[in-house]
Amino acid sequence: MPELTPAERRALRAQAHTLKPVVLIGDAGLSEAVLAEIDRQLASHELIKVRIAGEDRRRRATFLETICKAVGAAPVLQIGRVIVLYRRKPDKTPADPWLGPATASRPRRQKAQGELRRPTAQTRASPRRLSTK
């Protein structure tokens, strides 16, 4: 189970805020099929939310430990019945958690020779208001 620094955990928690749970663990509990689905989702998304049904807190904590050990994920957050898991994709270079996964791997566009620049806010003429005093 990989360890996360507090800064990485905070950045991942912020990214996970808008996510919806992709795996639901029902009253039947944790099965091999559920673990396989969590593994597939982590391979696809890196950061996922899992919802656990049931009232027992100890059971949910046990599920979190079991899942993390079985799939090699790091726990990011557990609030009530929702847990957030993170596992870095093995084929990617580590992304900067402050930038997020989308901006870290996006290449910058190079300007073609002779391409005109767009006017920026500083170079654009701004309309001036006439005072009516």
Runs of H (alpha helix) within the chain:
6-16, 32-45, 57-71, 101-104
Residues with Cβ within 8 Å of 13's Cβ and at least 6 positions away in sequence, in order, are 76, 77, 84
- State pTM to two decimals: 0.66
CB-based contact 91:101 (threshold 8 Å): no
pLDDT at res. 54 = 84
Q: At what angle do helices 57-71 and 32-45 cross, to 10 degrees?
A: 60
Domains, the chain: 6-87 (3.30.110.60)
pLDDT at res. 86 = 96
pLDDT at res. 27 = 86
Q: Print pLDDT tens along the chain (133 aa).
A: 678 999 999 999 999 999 999 999 998 889 999 999 999 999 999 999 999 998 888 999 999 999 999 999 999 999 999 999 999 987 655 555 565 555 555 555 666 666 666 656 555 555 566 666 5
Q: Which amino acid appears at position 66 of this protein?
A: T
